[in-house]
């Protein structure tokens, strides 16, 4: 299929993703896992819902912590007098932090990790980020599992799923990959809705008026 020239392929992520797909193929093989081989779309449905809920819970935990951390960071910065953050102190074995620099929070919120060095809430924040990483991984395996099951049944392939999603995202971002102009997130959403409606109309037209020989 056609690929957009301005999109740079991320082969680092692709390599890791390919190995994860290969792992699931192995689990579904005759030499793999009996439990995996017994699964169907229906039996996997509950796991998909459970993992999605756990991701949502991890996001909620992280976003609940951020307002308090912003407040604490502001208070601690104010105590410095000049308002300039102090130099990072080296991590110690007792702290268990490994690195003073905190991972970036959700929504682009900039929290000064140096002003909260060793603070219990910072530890909880780091733990929340780690939980989100793990839960997203658990959710990620679900569509891969279902796609590989579909391949075994001859329904469709993971490549077909990815190609369709790729084309859809390009099509619904004409302000990035086409000539459309938008000025705000709200206009992007309006445009997305219009493109989606047109896709639905065209799909219905194909269903209702199949080509000759396809009836």
- Cα–Cα distance for residue pair 200/204, rounded to 1 Å: 6
For CA atoms 61, 66, 71, 75, the dihedral sign is positive
pLDDT band at 118; cut points 50, 70, 90:
low
Average pLDDT over residues 36-43: 97
Convert 165-184 to b/e letters by CB count within 10 Å (16 or more is b).
eeeeebebbbeeeeeeebee
pLDDT value for 214? 54
Angle between the N-to-C axes of helices 41-79 and 120-153, in degrees from 0 to 180, rounded to the nearest 10? 160
pLDDT band at 105; cut points 50, 70, 90:
very low
Q: What is the pLDDT of residues 150-201, one digit of tens each?
A: 999 999 999 999 999 999 999 999 999 999 999 999 999 999 999 999 999 9
Residue ranges per domain, the chain? 11-156, 172-215
pTM over 0.85: no
pLDDT band at 203; cut points 50, 70, 90:
confident
Contact 185, 14 (CB under 8 A): no
pLDDT value for 145? 97
Name the more confident of 93 and 56: 56
pLDDT value for 76? 56
Burial class (CB in 10 A: 0-12, 13-18, 19+), 48: middle
pLDDT band at 98; cut points 50, 70, 90:
very low
pLDDT value for 151? 96
Average pLDDT over residues 96-109: 45
Q: What is the pLDDT of residues 128-158, one digit of tens each?
A: 999 999 999 999 999 999 999 999 999 999 9
């Amino acid at each position: 299929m056609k690929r957009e020239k301005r999109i740079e392929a991320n082969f680092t992520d692709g390599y890791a993703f390919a190995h994860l797909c290969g792992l699931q193929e192995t689990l579904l093989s005759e030499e793999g896992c009996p439990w995996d081989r017994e699964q169907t779309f229906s039996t996997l449905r509950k796991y998909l819902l459970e993992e999605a809920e756990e991701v949502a819970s991890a996001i909620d935990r992280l976003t609940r912590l951020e307002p308090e951390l912003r407040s604490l960071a502001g208070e601690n910065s104010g105590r410095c007098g000049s308002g300039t953050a102090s130099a990072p102190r080296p991590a110690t074995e007792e702290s268990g932090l490994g690195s003073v620099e905190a991972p970036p929070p959700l929504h682009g919120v900039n929290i000064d990790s140096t002003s909260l060095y060793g603070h219990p809430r910072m530890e909880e924040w780091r733990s929340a980020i780690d939980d989100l990483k793990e839960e997203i991984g658990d959710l990620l395996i679900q569509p891969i599992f279902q796609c590989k099951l579909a391949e075994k049944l001859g329904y469709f392939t993971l490549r077909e799923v990815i190609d369709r999603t790729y084309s859809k995202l390009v099509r619904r971002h004409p302000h990035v990959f086409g000539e459309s102009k938008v000025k705000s997130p709200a206009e992007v959403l309006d445009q997305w809705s219009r493109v989606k409606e047109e896709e639905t109309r065209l799909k219905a037209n194909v269903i209702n008026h199949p080509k000759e020989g396809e009836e």
